[in-house]
Amino acid sequence: MNYAGDISPKQAWEVLTGEPGAVLVDVRTRAEWAFVGIPDLGNLGKKTVLLSWQDYPDMAIDPDFAAKLKAQIGDATGPVLFICRSGARSRSAAIAATTAGYARCFNVSEGFEGDKDGASHRGQRGGWKFAGLPWVQD
């Protein structure tokens, strides 16, 4: 495996609350952060790191992602957790961060919104929001 593994949103919350050096990186786009919301870590004395894996609207992978990550989190020694909408982009980001030298990179497998339900809506089948974890919206 090219990263530390997949964890659920509730497991991610346990890591974030239990390990002071743990970092959460939201790799979605600016539009998603603004219109859908972001994980709120304020009551933990932390902020979610906002760093897009892909650039909107062409959705090309940011070739400078690893350098931007290092600029934002430095030489973090605690676990680095990555989250996106449903767990696909964040898995790729976790692999890239592991390749860049971060030792404990995890993918939040259900993402922020989870998978689509039978009506093609997100937020009803898994994800950070569905788990009842803290989040905010602009």
pLDDT in tens, 45-88: 999 999 999 988 889 999 999 999 999 999 988 999 999 999 89
Please tell me the total count of domains within the chain: 1
Let me know if residue 11 belongs to a domain: yes
Let me know if residue 72 belongs to a domain: yes
Let me know if residue 138 belongs to a domain: no
Let me know if residue 136 belongs to a domain: no
Query: Which residue range(s) make up the domain with 68?
Result: 5-131
Let me know if residue 102 belongs to a domain: yes
pLDDT tier for residue 97 given thresholds of 50, 70 and 90:
very high
Strand ranges across the sheet with 49-50:
5-7, 105-108, 80-83, 23-26, 49-50
pLDDT tier for residue 117 given thresholds of 50, 70 and 90:
confident
CATH number, position 20: 3.40.250.10
pLDDT tier for residue 133 given thresholds of 50, 70 and 90:
very high
Let me know if residue 121 belongs to a domain: yes
Let me know if residue 59 belongs to a domain: yes
d(Cα 62, Cα 75) in Å, to the nearest integer? 20
Q: What pLDDT is stored for residue 1 in this prediction?
A: 64
Let me know if residue 74 belongs to a domain: yes
> What's the pTM?
0.94
Q: What pLDDT is stored for residue 95 in this prediction?
A: 97
